[in-house]
Structure 1
Protein backbone atom coordinates (compact mmCIF):
# COMPACT_ATOMS: atom_id res chain seq x y z
CA UNK A 1 0.00 0.00 0.00
CA UNK A 2 1.21 3.45 -0.81
CA UNK A 3 1.81 5.58 2.28
CA UNK A 4 -0.85 8.22 2.78
CA UNK A 5 0.14 11.47 4.48
CA UNK A 6 -2.79 12.61 6.58
CA UNK A 7 -1.21 15.17 8.92
CA UNK A 8 2.28 16.53 9.42
CA UNK A 9 2.59 14.53 12.65
CA UNK A 10 0.79 11.36 11.51
CA UNK A 11 1.07 9.02 8.52
CA UNK A 12 -1.03 5.96 7.65
CA UNK A 13 1.50 3.24 6.93
CA UNK A 14 -0.87 0.29 6.63
CA UNK A 15 -4.57 -0.31 6.11
CA UNK A 16 -5.68 -3.89 6.82
CA UNK A 17 -9.26 -4.54 5.68
CA UNK A 18 -10.90 -7.52 7.35
CA UNK A 19 -14.49 -8.81 6.95
CA UNK A 20 -15.71 -7.18 10.18
CA UNK A 21 -13.20 -4.42 10.96
CA UNK A 22 -10.50 -2.33 9.29
CA UNK A 23 -7.19 -1.80 11.07
CA UNK A 24 -5.22 1.37 10.46
CA UNK A 25 -1.57 1.46 11.51
CA UNK A 26 -0.44 5.04 11.88
CA UNK A 27 3.04 6.42 12.46
CA UNK A 28 3.28 9.25 15.00
CA UNK A 29 6.23 11.35 13.86
CA UNK A 30 6.67 13.80 16.74
CA UNK A 31 9.43 13.32 19.30
CA UNK A 32 7.93 12.29 22.63
CA UNK A 33 4.40 11.11 23.21
CA UNK A 34 1.81 13.87 23.54
CA UNK A 35 -1.25 11.92 24.67
CA UNK A 36 -3.68 14.79 24.06
CA UNK A 37 -2.56 15.16 20.41
CA UNK A 38 -2.76 11.42 19.78
CA UNK A 39 -6.19 11.15 21.38
CA UNK A 40 -7.62 14.07 19.37
CA UNK A 41 -6.16 12.71 16.15
CA UNK A 42 -7.37 9.13 16.69
CA UNK A 43 -10.94 10.15 17.52
CA UNK A 44 -11.08 12.59 14.60
CA UNK A 45 -9.56 10.07 12.17
CA UNK A 46 -12.06 7.39 13.19
CA UNK A 47 -14.93 9.86 12.75
CA UNK A 48 -13.75 10.56 9.18
CA UNK A 49 -14.04 6.86 8.33
CA UNK A 50 -17.85 7.18 8.52
CA UNK A 51 -19.51 3.75 8.39
CA UNK A 52 -16.31 1.71 8.61
CA UNK A 53 -15.70 -0.09 11.90
CA UNK A 54 -12.03 0.51 12.52
CA UNK A 55 -9.28 0.00 15.04
CA UNK A 56 -6.58 2.64 15.06
CA UNK A 57 -3.08 1.61 16.09
CA UNK A 58 -0.45 4.30 16.70
CA UNK A 59 3.28 3.54 16.59
CA UNK A 60 6.20 5.95 16.98
CA UNK A 61 8.95 4.10 15.13
CA UNK A 62 9.17 2.47 11.71
CA UNK A 63 11.54 -0.05 13.30
CA UNK A 64 8.52 -2.11 14.37
CA UNK A 65 6.68 -1.86 11.04
CA UNK A 66 7.70 -5.40 9.93
CA UNK A 67 6.02 -6.95 13.00
CA UNK A 68 3.60 -4.28 14.26
CA UNK A 69 0.62 -6.39 13.13
CA UNK A 70 1.97 -9.68 14.48
CA UNK A 71 -0.11 -10.47 17.55
CA UNK A 72 1.33 -13.92 18.14
CA UNK A 73 4.76 -15.01 19.36
CA UNK A 74 7.73 -12.68 18.75
CA UNK A 75 11.40 -13.02 19.72
CA UNK A 76 12.28 -11.16 22.95
CA UNK A 77 14.05 -8.28 21.15
CA UNK A 78 11.04 -7.65 18.90
CA UNK A 79 8.65 -7.95 21.88
CA UNK A 80 10.63 -5.26 23.70
CA UNK A 81 10.69 -2.93 20.68
CA UNK A 82 6.97 -3.41 20.13
CA UNK A 83 6.21 -2.74 23.81
CA UNK A 84 8.19 0.52 23.67
CA UNK A 85 7.01 1.83 20.29
CA UNK A 86 3.39 0.63 19.95
CA UNK A 87 2.03 3.77 21.58
CA UNK A 88 -1.75 3.38 21.54
CA UNK A 89 -4.77 1.54 20.21
CA UNK A 90 -8.26 2.92 19.77
CA UNK A 91 -10.62 -0.06 19.42
CA UNK A 92 -13.65 0.37 17.17
CA UNK A 93 -16.12 -0.04 20.03
CA UNK A 94 -14.87 2.57 22.54
CA UNK A 95 -13.64 6.15 22.79
CA UNK A 96 -10.88 5.19 25.23
CA UNK A 97 -7.36 4.69 23.99
CA UNK A 98 -5.22 1.86 25.35
CA UNK A 99 -1.77 3.31 26.01
CA UNK A 100 1.29 1.12 25.34
CA UNK A 101 -0.87 -2.02 25.13
CA UNK A 102 2.09 -4.42 24.85
CA UNK A 103 3.84 -3.31 28.02
CA UNK A 104 3.49 -5.62 31.00
Structure 2
Protein backbone atom coordinates (compact mmCIF):
# COMPACT_ATOMS: atom_id res chain seq x y z
CA UNK A 1 0.00 0.00 0.00
CA UNK A 2 2.86 2.35 0.87
CA UNK A 3 4.37 1.72 -2.55
CA UNK A 4 1.12 2.76 -4.27
CA UNK A 5 1.02 6.02 -2.31
CA UNK A 6 4.61 6.78 -3.29
CA UNK A 7 3.82 6.10 -6.93
CA UNK A 8 0.73 8.31 -6.75
CA UNK A 9 2.71 11.07 -5.04
CA UNK A 10 5.41 10.88 -7.74
CA UNK A 11 2.78 11.04 -10.47
CA UNK A 12 1.17 14.10 -8.90
CA UNK A 13 4.56 15.73 -8.53
CA UNK A 14 5.26 15.12 -12.23
CA UNK A 15 1.90 16.61 -13.18
CA UNK A 16 2.57 19.73 -11.12
CA UNK A 17 6.04 20.00 -12.66
CA UNK A 18 4.60 19.88 -16.20
CA UNK A 19 1.66 22.19 -15.49
CA UNK A 20 3.73 24.97 -13.91
CA UNK A 21 4.97 26.45 -17.25
CA UNK A 22 1.44 26.31 -18.66
CA UNK A 23 0.10 28.14 -15.61
CA UNK A 24 2.83 30.79 -15.96
CA UNK A 25 2.00 31.31 -19.64
CA UNK A 26 -1.72 31.57 -18.87
CA UNK A 27 -1.07 34.11 -16.12
CA UNK A 28 1.10 36.18 -18.49
CA UNK A 29 -1.63 36.13 -21.16
CA UNK A 30 -4.25 37.24 -18.65
CA UNK A 31 -2.13 40.02 -17.13
CA UNK A 32 -1.00 41.43 -20.48
CA UNK A 33 -4.55 41.53 -21.86
CA UNK A 34 -3.52 39.37 -24.81
CA UNK A 35 -6.12 36.76 -23.91
CA UNK A 36 -8.95 39.31 -24.21
CA UNK A 37 -7.59 40.54 -27.56
CA UNK A 38 -7.38 36.96 -28.77
CA UNK A 39 -10.95 36.32 -27.67
CA UNK A 40 -12.11 39.41 -29.59
CA UNK A 41 -10.39 38.16 -32.76
CA UNK A 42 -11.64 34.58 -32.41
CA UNK A 43 -14.40 34.78 -35.09
CA UNK A 44 -11.91 36.08 -37.68
CA UNK A 45 -9.38 33.43 -36.68
CA UNK A 46 -11.97 30.68 -37.05
CA UNK A 47 -13.01 31.99 -40.48
CA UNK A 48 -9.37 32.10 -41.59
CA UNK A 49 -8.70 28.58 -40.35
CA UNK A 50 -11.82 27.17 -41.99
CA UNK A 51 -10.94 28.83 -45.27
CA UNK A 52 -7.29 27.87 -45.39
CA UNK A 53 -7.38 24.56 -43.48
CA UNK A 54 -10.78 23.05 -44.23
CA UNK A 55 -12.09 19.84 -42.79
CA UNK A 56 -11.87 17.05 -45.31
CA UNK A 57 -14.63 17.93 -47.72
CA UNK A 58 -15.11 16.71 -51.25
CA UNK A 59 -13.80 19.08 -53.88
CA UNK A 60 -16.38 20.68 -56.13
CA UNK A 61 -15.23 21.52 -59.64
CA UNK A 62 -17.00 23.92 -62.01
CA UNK A 63 -19.73 21.51 -63.21
CA UNK A 64 -20.46 20.57 -59.59
CA UNK A 65 -20.62 24.23 -58.57
CA UNK A 66 -22.99 25.07 -61.43
CA UNK A 67 -25.33 22.31 -60.29
CA UNK A 68 -24.93 23.08 -56.57
CA UNK A 69 -25.73 26.78 -57.02
CA UNK A 70 -28.21 26.35 -59.88
CA UNK A 71 -26.37 28.83 -62.12
CA UNK A 72 -25.15 28.84 -65.73
CA UNK A 73 -21.52 28.81 -66.83
CA UNK A 74 -21.60 32.50 -67.77
CA UNK A 75 -22.95 33.45 -64.32
CA UNK A 76 -20.16 31.37 -62.77
CA UNK A 77 -17.49 33.29 -64.70
CA UNK A 78 -19.12 36.62 -63.82
CA UNK A 79 -19.19 35.75 -60.09
CA UNK A 80 -15.52 34.71 -60.23
CA UNK A 81 -14.62 37.97 -61.99
CA UNK A 82 -16.61 39.99 -59.41
CA UNK A 83 -14.88 38.17 -56.55
CA UNK A 84 -18.10 36.62 -55.24
CA UNK A 85 -16.68 33.18 -55.93
CA UNK A 86 -13.01 32.66 -55.20
CA UNK A 87 -11.79 29.30 -56.48
CA UNK A 88 -8.98 27.46 -54.76
CA UNK A 89 -6.00 26.96 -57.01
CA UNK A 90 -3.89 23.88 -56.63
CA UNK A 91 -2.50 21.34 -59.02
CA UNK A 92 -5.08 20.76 -61.72
CA UNK A 93 -8.33 22.65 -62.25
CA UNK A 94 -9.72 25.19 -59.81
CA UNK A 95 -12.07 23.84 -57.17
CA UNK A 96 -14.24 24.82 -54.20
CA UNK A 97 -15.35 23.24 -50.96
CA UNK A 98 -19.02 23.39 -50.01
CA UNK A 99 -18.12 25.68 -47.11
CA UNK A 100 -16.68 28.16 -49.66
CA UNK A 101 -20.06 28.39 -51.36
CA UNK A 102 -22.35 28.94 -48.34
CA UNK A 103 -23.14 32.60 -49.02
CA UNK A 104 -23.78 32.10 -52.73
CA UNK A 105 -25.91 29.03 -51.93
CA UNK A 106 -28.08 31.19 -49.64
CA UNK A 107 -28.39 33.75 -52.45
CA UNK A 108 -29.39 31.03 -54.93
CA UNK A 109 -32.07 29.80 -52.53
CA UNK A 110 -33.31 33.34 -52.00
CA UNK A 111 -33.62 33.85 -55.74
CA UNK A 112 -35.38 30.51 -56.20
CA UNK A 113 -32.68 28.91 -58.32
CA UNK A 114 -32.55 25.84 -56.12
Q: What TM-score do the two structures reach when normalised by structure 1?
A: 0.24
Greater share of strand: 1
Task: Please report the TM-score for the alignment, with normalisation by the length of structure 2.
Answer: 0.23
Larger radius of gyration: 2
